[in-house]
């Protein structure tokens, strides 16, 4: 095609406007694919806030509420479950492991979770990652605490520091367990999950600080000192929730039914993956809005290209007439404009994807450490490929408008140009 | 065989519209150099569109080199133009993004036939372009390297003439090629055109309203007088 090299020379002659068009297409594509990728990663990162756990059980409540307080430390349990019920659950033949959780205390705005060493073994986030200690070790003393990364960072704690827990979510003087301070034994790596915002202590520690407390206040004369409690029976009477791992996934619904129909007290069991996805459907609307906005940015970019091509058209009527005079057919004129639009679109999309990868390369470590979102590099997903294909299609459709107009003009104008 | 032969031809831009051009018969022999004169509105643009095969007549026949253009399809007419017709515009003849030589060799991109002739004569289209430019006193290194937009109007018209003559087309059509030139350069340009057309054996159809050039030509076709559609013609010239 003789027209290809002409189209190239013509485009280079207008490289400044072409560059602007290219940049607007590239940036809008980078935004679109970036938003889509971020959306995907946040969704999967959210859905993987807790993984490896087959069931979460607690006192009877709505699935969302159970999920919110047991995993996200948002809100409170309406009721606790008894230690005896917990023993029943853990000894169920299909249960492989269980991790009790006791919530209700806080430290300077961060929730405190009483649990066992099993929590660090069985809790999984972001596709089967276990919790890793950045410093120190998991608690082995009653008064040991393991801090989430964000707690340590915000409050500037280091290993060996003493911290005081408070009763309830509000940190007020009269509700502090000041007599029984905890020692920071370990600090976790960041995970991008609520674990980062949690102070972890042993179940016995929670029990110890509540000896002599009733109805959320210390009962005068019944307390025991930190050392005295060491010799007491610290088996809790109640816990808030329990994470369960099953021997076989097949048994999930059977065990769930067992818990939901448990006779001794009303309990609920949820499948965390299902509950997380239901919750996401609620809060994911914002992300859809974000995608919609980026789609509109692409449309604006396309209009930019259309404007540039249409504006250029009148100035190029002379060019068309010259080409027609040396034997170019109207279809050549169509191809000239179309080729330009197609070239700008394809190059814009390529540059956009490339730019996104450069941005991702820079942003990845930050996203991972700050938000626990692992942005994947490399080949686009099926959805992204679909988006890119739509952009390219849109580019060609947009290009067809001025191309058809140029085609018509070259038919009408012939060799004379009426400007 | 005549270069151009017109018989009882009428043309309207649209069906039911006014007749713009109505010619009895015109015959132009090969190698002839013809001056087509007439004020604006006399049907010059229409005649040029017909000769170039951009449009076709409604009635009658227009034969170029023995081919009845109205019997060819639009694609064939585009091919025909590429192969057989060199065209010079009134002004702004050159593509600003091509070099002078690239502008001259442009017809070779669309016509294999003209490319062959150029290669046969000078070895490559570029050499043929330089040969033609040299005849038109344009083949100076200083000029060749310059963007064509920096050339003077007269120089641009000479480059356009070289392009029209590229690959020795049988017909060269010039549409008011001298109207943007100074009076004293017009005659020199026409002489250059004569020489080159004679050299390549091309028939020259020179359209102008500038009557002062008339004496240079051996034959004159006064379009306003022979166009039976008369001053009813309303072309946008």
Predicted ipTM?
0.88
Contact between A258 and A41 (Cβ < 8 Å): no
Residues in A touching B237 (Cβ below 8 Å): 416
Instruction: Mark yes or no for CB contact A2/B55 under 8 Å.
Output: no
What are residue A104's phi and psi, to 5 degrees? 140, -20
pLDDT of residue A352 exceeding 90, the answer is: yes
Report yes or no on B219 lying in a domain.
Answer: yes
pLDDT of residue B233 exceeding 60, the answer is: no
Rounded Cα distance, A123 and A105, in Å: 21
pLDDT of residue A1 exceeding 50, the answer is: yes
Question: What percent of chain A clears pLDDT 70, i.e. is strictly above it?
Answer: 93
pLDDT of residue A126 exceeding 80, the answer is: no
Q: Residues 298..337 of A with a Cβ closer than 8 Å to B: which? A: 318-319, 321-330
Q: What is the mean pLDDT of residues B118-122?
A: 89
The structure's pTM equals 0.74
Residues belonging to chain B: 237
Which residue in A13, A326, A418 is closest to B107 by CB distance?
A326
CB-count burial class (<10 Å; 0-12, 13-18, 19+) for A55: buried
Report yes or no on B154 lying in a domain.
Answer: yes
Rounded Cα distance, A122 and A195, in Å: 13
B225: Cβ–Cβ under 8 A, 6 or more apart, which residues? Answer: none
Closest CA to B227 of B101, B34, B39, B33: B39
Instruction: Mark yes or no for CB contact B87/A325 under 8 Å.
Output: yes
Report yes or no on B171 lying in a domain.
Answer: yes
pLDDT of residue A11 exceeding 70, the answer is: yes
Instruction: Mark yes or no for CB contact A418/B236 under 8 Å.
Output: yes
Instruction: Mark yes or no for CB contact A325/B45 under 8 Å.
Output: no
Residues in B touching A329 (Cβ below 8 Å): 74-75, 78
Instruction: Mark yes or no for CB contact B87/A414 under 8 Å.
Output: no
CA distance A392 to chain B (A): 28
In a mutagenesis test of the A interface, which of B87, B107, B147, B235 is the best target, namely the one with the most A β-carbons within 10 Å? B87
pLDDT of residue B31 exceeding 90, the answer is: no
Contact between B6 and B60 (Cβ < 8 Å): yes
Q: What is the mean pLDDT of residues A277-283?
A: 82
Report yes or no on B236 lying in a domain.
Answer: no
Report yes or no on B237 lying in a domain.
Answer: no
Instruction: Mark yes or no for CB contact A327/B49 under 8 Å.
Output: no
Report yes or no on B203 lying in a domain.
Answer: yes
Closest CA to B163 of B198, B125, B189, B190: B125
pLDDT of residue A216 exceeding 70, the answer is: no
What residue of A is the nearest CA neighbor of B55? A414
Closest CA to A224 of A207, A236, A237: A207
Q: What is the mean pLDDT of residues A287-313?
A: 88
Q: What is the mean pLDDT of residues A115-121?
A: 91
What residue of B is the nearest CA neighbor of A413? B54
Number of structural domains (chain B) is 1
Give the CATH number for residue B91.
3.40.50.300
Closest CA to A148 of A179, A115, A175: A115
Which residue in A9, A329, A414 is closest to B49 by CB distance?
A414
Residues in B touching A13 (Cβ below 8 Å): 96-97
Instruction: Mark yes or no for CB contact A414/B52 under 8 Å.
Output: yes
pLDDT of residue A134 exceeding 70, the answer is: yes
What residue of A is the nearest CA neighbor of B160? A322
Rounded Cα distance, A159 and A162, in Å: 9
Which residue in B45, B79, B163 is closest to A416 by CB distance?
B45
pLDDT tens per residue, range A368-385: 766 666 677 777 788 888
Instruction: Mark yes or no for CB contact A9/B48 under 8 Å.
Output: no
In a mutagenesis test of the B interface, which of A4, A334, A416, A418 is the best target, namely the one with the most B β-carbons within 10 Å? A416
Rounded Cα distance, B55 and B125, in Å: 30
Would you state the pLDDT for residue B236?
A: 43
CA distance A381 to chain B (A): 41
Domain that residue B193 falls in: 4-229
Closest CA to B115 of B166, B76, B75, B161: B166
Q: What is the mean pLDDT of residues A57-69?
A: 89
Q: What is the mean pLDDT of residues B160-166?
A: 91
Instruction: Mark yes or no for CB contact A322/B95 under 8 Å.
Output: yes
Closest CA to B60 of B2, B7, B11, B5: B7
Which DSSP helix (H) or strand (E) runs through A337? helix A330-371
Rounded Cα distance, A312 and A396, in Å: 17
Q: What is the mean pLDDT of residues A131-147?
A: 89
Which DSSP helix (H) or strand (E) runs through A369? helix A330-371
Which residue in A9, A10, A327 is closest to B110 by CB distance?
A327
In a mutagenesis test of the A interface, which of B78, B103, B148 is the best target, namely the one with the most A β-carbons within 10 Å? B78
Instruction: Mark yes or no for CB contact A322/B109 under 8 Å.
Output: no
Would you state the pLDDT for residue A396?
A: 92
Contact between A344 and A305 (Cβ < 8 Å): yes
Instruction: Mark yes or no for CB contact B82/A2 under 8 Å.
Output: no
Contact residues of B toward A, CB < 8 A: 45, 48-49, 52, 54-55, 74-75, 78-79, 81-83, 87, 89, 92-98, 106-107, 109-111, 163, 175, 236-237
User: Counting runs of H as helices and runs of E as strands, what totals does chain A give?
Assistant: 14, 17
Would you state the pLDDT for residue A261?
A: 92
Q: Which band of pLDDT confidence, cut at 50, 70 and 90, is reported for residue A269?
A: very high
Return the residue matching tokens 């019997």: B71
Task: Tell me the three state secondary structure of residue A145.
Answer: strand
pLDDT of residue A331 exceeding 70, the answer is: yes
Rounded Cα distance, A289 and A285, in Å: 6
Which residue in A318, A326, A414 is closest to B106 by CB distance?
A326
Query: Over chain A, what is the mean pLDDT?
Result: 86
């Amino acid at each position: 095609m003789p027209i290809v090299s002409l189209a190239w020379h013509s485009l280079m002659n207008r490289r400044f406007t072409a560059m602007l068009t290219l940049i607007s297409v590239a940036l809008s594509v980078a935004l679109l694919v970036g938003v889509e990728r971020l959306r995907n990663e946040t969704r999967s990162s959210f859905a993987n806030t807790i993984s490896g756990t087959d069931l979460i059980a607690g006192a009877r409540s709505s699935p969302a509420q159970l999920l919110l307080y047991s995993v996200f430390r948002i809100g409170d349990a309406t009721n606790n479950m008894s230690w005896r019920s917990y023993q029943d659950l853990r000894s169920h033949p299909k249960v492989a492991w269980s991790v009790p959780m006791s919530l209700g205390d806080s430290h300077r705005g961060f929730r405190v979770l009483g649990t066992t060493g099993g929590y660090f073994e069985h809790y999984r986030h972001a596709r089967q990652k276990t919790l890793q200690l950045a410093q120190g070790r998991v608690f082995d003393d009653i008064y040991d605490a393991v801090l989430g990364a964000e707690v340590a960072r915000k409050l500037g704690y280091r290993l060996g520091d003493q911290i005081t827990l408070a009763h309830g979510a509000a940190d007020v003087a009269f509700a502090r367990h000041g007599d029984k301070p905890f020692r920071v034994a370990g600090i976790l790596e960041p995970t991008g999950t609520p674990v980062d915002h949690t102070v972890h202590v042993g179940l016995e520690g929670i029990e110890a600080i509540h000896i002599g407390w009733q109805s959320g206040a210390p009962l005068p004369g019944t307390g025991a000192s930190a050392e005295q409690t060491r010799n007491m029976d610290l088996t809790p009477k109640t816990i808030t929730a329990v994470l369960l791992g099953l021997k076989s996934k097949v048994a999930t619904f059977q065990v769930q039914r067992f818990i939901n129909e448990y006779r001794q007290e009303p309990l609920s069991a949820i499948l965390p993956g299902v509950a997380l996805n239901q919750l996401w459907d609620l809060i994911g609307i914002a992300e859809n809005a974000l995608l919609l906005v980026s789609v509109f940015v692409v449309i604006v970019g396309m209009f930019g290209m259309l404007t540039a091509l249409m504006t250029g058209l009148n100035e190029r009527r002379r060019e068309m007439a010259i080409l027609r005079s040396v034997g170019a057919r109207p279809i050549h004129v169509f191809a000239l404009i179309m080729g330009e639009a197609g070239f700008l679109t394809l190059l814009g999309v390529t540059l956009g994807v490339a730019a996104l990868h450069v941005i991702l390369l820079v942003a990845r470590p930050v996203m991972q450490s700050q938000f626990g979102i692992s942005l994947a590099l490399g080949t686009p997903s099926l959805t992204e490929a679909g988006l890119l294909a739509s952009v390219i299609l849109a580019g060609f459709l947009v290009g067809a408008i001025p191309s058809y107009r140029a085609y018509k003009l070259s038919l009408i104008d012939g060799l004379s140009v009426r400007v | 065989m005549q270069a151009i032969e017109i018989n009882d031809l009428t043309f309207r831009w649209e069906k039911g519209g006014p007749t713009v051009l109505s010619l009895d018969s015109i015959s132009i022999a090969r190698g002839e150099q013809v001056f087509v004169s007439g004020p604006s509105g006399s049907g010059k643009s229409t005649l040029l569109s017909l000769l170039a095969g951009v449009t076709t007549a409604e009635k009658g026949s227009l034969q170029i080199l023995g081919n009845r253009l109205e019997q060819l399809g639009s694609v064939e007419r585009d091919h025909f133009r590429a192969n057989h017709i060199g065209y010079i515009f009134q002004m702004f003849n050159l593509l600003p993004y091509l070099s002078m030589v690239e502008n001259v060799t442009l017809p070779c991109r669309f016509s294999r036939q003209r490319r062959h002739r150029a290669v046969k004569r000078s070895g490559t289209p570029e050499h043929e372009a330089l040969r033609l430019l040299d005849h038109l006193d344009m083949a100076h290194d200083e000029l060749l390297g310059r963007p064509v937009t920096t050339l003077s109007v007269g120089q641009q018209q000479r480059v356009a003439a070289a392009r029209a003559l590229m690959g020795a087309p049988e017909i060269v059509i010039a549409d008011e090629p001298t109207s943007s030139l100074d009076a004293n350069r017009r005659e020199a340009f026409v002489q250059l055109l004569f020489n080159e057309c004679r050299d390549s054996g091309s028939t020259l159809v020179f359209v102008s309203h500038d009557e002062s050039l008339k004496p240079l030509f051996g034959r004159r076709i006064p379009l306003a007088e022979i166009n039976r559609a008369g001053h009813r013609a309303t072309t946008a010239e």
